[in-house]
Structure 1
């Protein structure tokens, strides 16, 4: 679990990250839980679940592991797919080609990982290879990112949700545990409404169910920066919105070194994804109540891009959803605090799978 840092930062991001919220145990010293504690909220029950994990979950070793797998793991999984006869590209209408990779056991439950704005499948590196021992994991590049293509015509988040459904169909998967982060969380919500039968469980990470004017303005600014000054400048501009202040200070040298590798792609796909996000209206919000899959919502209490209030709204609208707030974590919590994040997600998927089997076994026995 992340440590409870009270050191002052600078700028609006640090101000927002450290502002006092009397309802937030991460920001209120009098209500602060002990180290190694995850504060968990459902819509009705307030409880705490202890995680015996290291408080310092992101350092240069994690970054090094991410780089290593990003450059070697992709080649390994592609070769494995080729040897097993699996085609890693999925053709979609409009000439779009999606690139996907499969890892893990072929006989295990399937987990579909959907990444966020401008990020490819390698954003899940610290989860994918931990999941490989217990699940069959499918990670793919959204249209406009990674090795997938960017269409000339505008597209929507609904198109991207249909892409996710097509990826599952391509690999012969009838249902999967879906994990989506940020924009990928919005896509996952649409997938769960439009293609409910495909979703065994739903994990929504650092995401929202509606646009906010300030966030729309920020995303448009990012798109302008990427178009005019390049993706490297966008990365510099956005880093403090994506990584917590403490981790940012610790990792600044490594992030600088990684910049050329992470941001060498052209801005076309990034800005097309931004357009898809900001053009989405709030009509889907009312549909969230129709989601029946077991749902886990995770947010960091230092997330200033999709703050805790966004996750609370989602958890309130989806029946029986669980809300977990990870102290000290920001928007990039899946890599910034992977050793806390991973057990929470793995435990939830395991529970959902056990409950599903328990529900189907009596029916099978009676038949």
Structure 2
């Protein structure tokens, strides 16, 4: 198991898989979720890409300090992972809260990103979503993670897939019942305290960006993704029909096909913009994806 100390001393756990020397892809998961939530994407990208997946502080095998967390610090955690892995630049893929972290990373560390994929996420919280997150936090703290799991599940998984995917609750986002409630609360606090001025800086992003959303997502609806795509000049918006918030699991084959196509195009664009001697092997790998 690989760990790195972040800037404040918190231990962050991450894994590397896929093709050694391939174009690196950094996967950042959402609220309460561990890197296991990217299992199907890491498998799909493995033949061509080097996948780096981290456990955000408060989830998985990373440290779970008490107190409120901060999204900007969590972006710094991701940079610490890249530094420890010896990766200068990566394609960044973030979902939900991980998408918010990815937006911060792309704005704060533009030199570290080759492309950004923002899945089922938002640039700011609406009042109704802040109230919902606060209620999840209260239920988790007062009654444990199980007290809010059934309610959260209905916001994450589409109605058609609800029964089929109920057994996956051990590794789906806020439904991961073994997560300590104080760590989940800390992540919620980070979301509730997020700096909404970030939305005004999204136009600074220059690398290719794909914004992905399911048309049945009720937690981060299509309007959130449309706002992000409108503010980033290089962004393309992709809407997956019949998909809800957890579509990287619920509609994994469609999600993976779209992601691989975008990564291939983004890697070619990055190579063209780099020095002629840089990334030649990556071009061959990405072109075959």
TM > 0.5 fold call? yes
SS state at 1:313 partner: helix
Distance across 2 between alignment mates of 1:228 and 1:347: 44
Distance across 2 between alignment mates of 1:256 and 1:349: 29
Distance across 2 between alignment mates of 1:309 and 1:231: 29
Distance across 1 between alignment mates of 2:17 and 2:277: 31
Aligned to 2:256: 342
Aligned to 1:6: none
Pair member with larger Rg = 1
Deviation above 4 Å: which 4+ runs of structure 1?
Answer: 255-259, 361-364
1:277 aligns with 2:186: no
Aligned to 1:89: 3
Distance across 1 between alignment mates of 2:118 and 2:142: 32
Aligned to 2:282: none
Unmatched runs of 5 consecutive residues or more in structure 2? 279-289
Distance across 1 between alignment mates of 2:114 and 2:169: 39
Quote how far apart the aligned CAs of 1:138 are. 0.4
TM-score, structure 1 as length reference: 0.72
Is contact 1:105–1:133 with CA below 8 Å preserved after alignment? yes
Quote how far apart the aligned CAs of 1:354 are. 1.3
Unmatched runs of 5 consecutive residues or more in structure 1? 1-77, 79-87
Quote how far apart the aligned CAs of 1:336 are. 0.4
Is contact 1:95–1:151 with CA below 8 Å preserved after alignment? no
Distance across 1 between alignment mates of 2:171 and 2:232: 38
Distance across 2 between alignment mates of 1:161 and 1:220: 22
1:216 aligns with 2:130: yes
Deviations 1:201-240 (A, max 9, x none): 0000000000110000000000111111111222111111
Aligned to 1:134: 48
Distance across 2 between alignment mates of 1:298 and 1:153: 31
Is contact 2:35–2:54 with CA below 8 Å preserved after alignment? yes
Aligned to 2:26: 112
Is contact 1:298–1:324 with CA below 8 Å preserved after alignment? yes
Distance across 2 between alignment mates of 1:158 and 1:321: 22
Change (3 A) 1:90 1:255: closer
Distance across 1 between alignment mates of 2:202 and 2:7: 27
SS state at 2:31 partner: coil
Aligned to 1:201: 115
Distance across 1 between alignment mates of 2:168 and 2:84: 36
